[in-house]
Amino acid sequence: MQSLVAEQLTKDFGEGQARVRAVAGVDLQVSSGEVVLIMGPSGSGKTTLLFLLGALLRPTSGRVRVDGEDVAAAPSRRLPAIRLRHFGFVFQDFNLLANLTARENVEVVLNLAGVRGVDARRRSGRLLKGLGLGKRADHLPEKLSGGEKQRVAIARALANHPPAILADEPTANLDRENGRQVARLLRDAAHGQGAAVVMVSHDARVVEFADRVLRMEDGRITDAGASPRGMEPARGLPSSPGGERMMKDPVCGMMVDEKSAKHTSSHGGRTFYFCSPGCKRTFDQDPPRYRH
């Protein structure tokens, strides 16, 4: 069953000669229980696409359907209710309310959806306990680690049983183990609860948790979708002429197609591959820092 469908989705910013096309005619279908990972360089349109899918931005043209409802065409007054019912959001910076406890951060979205009192408290408590935060439920965000904050954000995203969960760089501010745990939890939300999960990320650590990996560049999906199997990080191996391996950007960790990479740098007899000019410049300023 296809829970989330985008058809010829386009988003322009500005007008006339200043117009920038951030998303250019994207078609995307994500089924219930599937995790789709979208990777690409900074400025490729990944986050804009995610915001369009979640009705946080209006498309210039195209459609977004969730469980059959065209959310892109809905009137503005209905959008808050649509987001509550159809989507769970997980952001890079957690976006928790600083003056509310972990439990209250989850309860607030339940309250907005009409679930209150004991029912909201029980639901939030079960979610937090299931994510290993039962003993941290009454702590304010400032008392939680980064990994704990992101688990609270996942609990909040799951609170209203949404058919779609959208995650914007959910592991970017986390260490290796917490990043893997968060990616695993999002996969479990898809496989265990039937949610359609879309992640955008530079983080090569999350590739193994995806059912499909897409690449986005210049506002377009340039890869129709590949299984993450066979896309293990290459850990800075020397280049292989004629090969088609996926190489790891040593700066941001993103996977880069060796054959089509536009940005490379040679150092110490090895070739390194980068997703963007920015990552290449960062590497060239201090190569020993990234040669591992």
Residue 240: its pLDDT value, please?
A: 33
CA atoms within 13 A on the CB side of 98: 2
Contact 246, 256 (CB under 8 A): yes
Residues 189, 158: Cα–Cα separation, whole Å: 8
Confidence check: pLDDT of 261 > 80: no
* Mean pLDDT computed over 177-204: 89
- What does the angle CA 237 – CA 239 – CA 241 come to, to the nearest 5 degrees? 150
Can you give the pLDDT at residue 288? 84
Interhelix angle 102-112/117-130, nearest 10 degrees = 130
Q: Identify the weakest region by mean pLDDT among 28-32, 110-114, 157-161, 222-226.
A: 222-226
Distance (Å, whole) CA 235 – CA 253: 9
Which neighbouring-strand residues pair with 13? 20
**CA atoms of 204 and 217, how far apart (whole Å):** 17
pLDDT of residue 290: 76
pLDDT at 51 over 90: yes
What is the structure's pLDDT at 40? 87
Q: What distance in Å separates the CA atoms of residue 7 and residue 81, rounded to the nearest whole number? A: 22
Residue 248's pLDDT is 74
pLDDT of residue 227: 53
CB atoms within 10 A of CB 8: 12
Residues 236-262: what's their mean pLDDT? 59
At residue 252, the pLDDT reads 65
pLDDT at 63 exceeding the cut of 70: yes
Q: Specify the domain boundaries for CATH 3.40.50.300 within the chain.
A: 2-221
Dihedral over alpha carbons 114, 118, 123, 126 (to 10 degrees): 170
Low-confidence winner among 43-47, 101-105, 132-136, 281-285 (lowest mean pLDDT)? 281-285
Q: What is the CATH topology of the domain spanning 2-221?
A: Rossmann fold (3.40.50)
Q: What is the mean pLDDT of residues 273-282?
A: 76
Q: What is the mean pLDDT of residues 240-251?
A: 58
Between 38 and 229, residue with greater pLDDT: 38
The reported pLDDT for the residue numbered 286 is 84
Dump pLDDT digits (tens) for 131-190.
999 999 999 999 999 999 999 999 999 999 999 999 999 988 888 888 888 898 999 989
Whole-number pLDDT of residue 1:
55
Q: Is 260 helix (H, G, I), strand (E, B) or coil?
A: coil
For residue 226, give the DSSP letter: B
Whether residue 36 is predicted with pLDDT greater than 70 in this model: the reply is yes
Tell me the C-alpha distance between 205 and 179, whole Å. 8
Would you list the DSSP string of 84-122? HHHEEEEETT----TTS-HHHHHHHHHHHTT--HHHHHH
Give residue 236's pLDDT band: very low, low, confident or very high (50, 70, 90): very low
Specify the residue for token string 């306990």: 129
Among 8-22, 195-209, 274-288, name the one with the lowest average pLDDT.
274-288
Predicted TM-score (pTM) of this structure: 0.75
Least confident of 36-50, 82-96, 215-229: 215-229
Secondary structure letter of residue 54 according to DSSP: T
Q: Does residue 39 carry a pLDDT above 80?
A: yes
